[in-house]
Amino acid sequence: MCLACRGARLLCGKPRCPILLKAESLARHGASLDTEVIQGSSPPAVFVGRFGCPKVYIGPMVPPFYGRTEILDMPEAWMGKSFDEIVDFRFSLVRGNTRVNVFDAQNADGLVEQIQELAIASRPIDSELKLTKRPRKTITLSEDSQPFGPSAPMKSLKAGNVPPDRRIERAHADRDLKATEAVFELYREGLAVTKIQRAFSAGLLGIAANRKLVPTRWSITAVDSTISAGLIDELKGYETIDEYRVYQFSYLENSYVGIMFPEPWKFEWIEAWFPETTWNLYGSQPTIVGDYEEYRGRSVYASVGGCYYATRLAVAERLSQERRQAAVIFLREIHPGYLLAVGVWNVRESIRAALKTAPKKFDSLHSALGYAFSLLSIDRKNWVQASALLQRALHQRRITEFA
């Protein structure tokens, strides 16, 4: 298809060619990356790979320019940005890599120690990254983590001294503090989720004898899961909301609709990938997948992956702010205009944005659902068929009916 199209006829159904989008970003940055020495201000940013564990590839990420570069590795600041801007942010960062043992985090020295210093920094660090060859100019895409740009094996890293973030420093210094407790405490102290994920990935948190480097992709979901679990434990002590609510938000050709019920905590996340999207390229119909949890939570990893936990965090965060609990279902439609998988942050920040809007309020489940499904392209019956919580809400009789 790509050979026949060559980016001109858009045979894949997308409004723009994803290959050309990446190529255009490469053209903008290509000259500055055509070197074995990268000098610039790391946001700071680090990467820990997942293949070959316990021996994994790690390294810093450095752009070929100096200045206030925080936004290059801060997805919380990307809401409203275009595909071009997001790809440019990530293509600006050159990733050096070398292989280490994940348990080297316990007695860090050399590169692992430098990685940890980057992860604890409070602002960008002027750095010099020496590579064994010119970086390979590709961009790696994932639905779980933000894109990663050019990379090459590294010779050395020189980084300037920058004051550490005192919150991370304190958590790192406490060698008896469990990682889950450290993650939740840092969140309560106002540290951005991305910065907590970075510290967790770099092996800075947890009981000293158990510390290890955590692959970046895994650390993102682990932190989302840990924070949301802590918030959910708290909100279960609150009263339920008093009405049915419907929230709506759209971004990057993704449509989100959330439904809250005045019931004790339950949660469900369902996503529908339309034909000609990343994970349904050749289908003829939207593919719908989802997972859920009851009041007692879940003991196994959600089948739909990181987006489940990212959404659960945003939902629990909002309810915690209100000091209320609710049963919550969020639905996501991914349309063909979603050119690239840009990472789970897209879902987390979109749900956060949705929950900051004023919801439509209803007195009954049927009126709330009628409005919610009017905001979506896929037919109501398909959503209900895919939803465990909706099927129970619509068809299961309550004991109060027999009183």
Give the pLDDT mean for 255-276: 96
Q: pLDDT tens digits, residue range 277-296?
A: 877 878 889 999 999 999 99
What the block records as the tokens of 302 is: 């959600």
Res. 3 pLDDT band, cuts 50 70 90: very low
Note the pLDDT of residue 367: 96
Note the pLDDT of residue 32: 65
251 with 343: CB under 8 angstroms? no
Note the pLDDT of residue 386: 96
Q: How far is CA 16 from CA 43, 81, 83, 306, 368, in A?
A: 30, 16, 10, 27, 36
The pTM (predicted TM-score) of the whole model is 0.90
Q: pLDDT tens digits, residue range 51-105?
A: 888 999 999 999 999 999 999 999 999 999 998 898 889 888 999 999 999 999 9
SS3 119: helix
Res. 109 pLDDT band, cuts 50 70 90: confident
What SS3 string covers 291-311?
Answer: EEEECCECCCCCCCCHHHHHH
Is pLDDT above 80 for 5?
Answer: no
- Of 17-26, 226-235, 336-345, the range with the lowest mean pLDDT is 17-26
How large a percentage of the chain has pLDDT more than 90? Answer: 72
What is the phi/psi pair of residue 306, to 5°? -60, -30
Q: How far is CA 370 from the centre of its chain?
A: 30
157 with 60: CB under 8 angstroms? yes
Note the pLDDT of residue 84: 86
Note the pLDDT of residue 402: 44
What the block records as the tokens of 321 is: 């702010």
Note the pLDDT of residue 320: 97
What single DSSP character describes residue 243? S
Give the pLDDT mean for 12-39: 68
Note the pLDDT of residue 34: 79
What is the CB neighbour count within 10 angstroms for residue 65? Answer: 13
What residues contact 176, with CB distance under 8 A and at least 6 apart?
A: 207, 208
Res. 2 pLDDT band, cuts 50 70 90: low
Is pLDDT above 70 for 13?
Answer: no
Q: pLDDT tens digits, residue range 214-251?
A: 999 999 999 999 999 999 999 999 999 999 999 999 99
What the block records as the tokens of 385 is: 């068929």
- Of 187-191, 297-301, 326-330, the range with the lowest mean pLDDT is 297-301
Q: How far is CA 23 from CA 11, 14, 30, 89, 278, in A?
A: 18, 16, 10, 14, 18
- Of 24-33, 180-189, 355-364, the range with the lowest mean pLDDT is 24-33
Dist. CA 200–CA 39, nearest whole Å: 26
Dist. CA 17–CA 13, nearest whole Å: 9
131 bridge partner residues: 154
- Of 63-67, 382-386, 397-401, the range with the lowest mean pLDDT is 397-401
Note the pLDDT of residue 11: 64
What the block records as the tokens of 369 is: 């659902």
Higher pLDDT, 137 or 39: 39
332 with 272: CB under 8 angstroms? yes
Res. 14 pLDDT band, cuts 50 70 90: low
Q: pLDDT tens digits, residue range 172-211?
A: 999 999 999 999 999 999 999 999 999 999 999 999 999 9
Quote the Cα angle for 14-144-114, to 5°: 125
What residues contact 45, with CB distance under 8 A and at least 6 apart?
A: 60, 61, 62, 72, 73, 93, 118, 198
Note the pLDDT of residue 15: 64
Torsion of CA 277, 280, 282, 285, to 10 degrees: -100
Dist. CA 69–CA 243, nearest whole Å: 44
Using CB atoms within 10 Å of the CB of residue 107, give its burial: 0 to 12 exposed, 13 to 18 middle, 19+ buried: exposed
Res. 6 pLDDT band, cuts 50 70 90: very low
For each of the domains in the chain, give its residue range(s) and CATH number, in order of start.
27-159 (2.40.50), 166-235 (no CATH), 244-395 (no CATH)
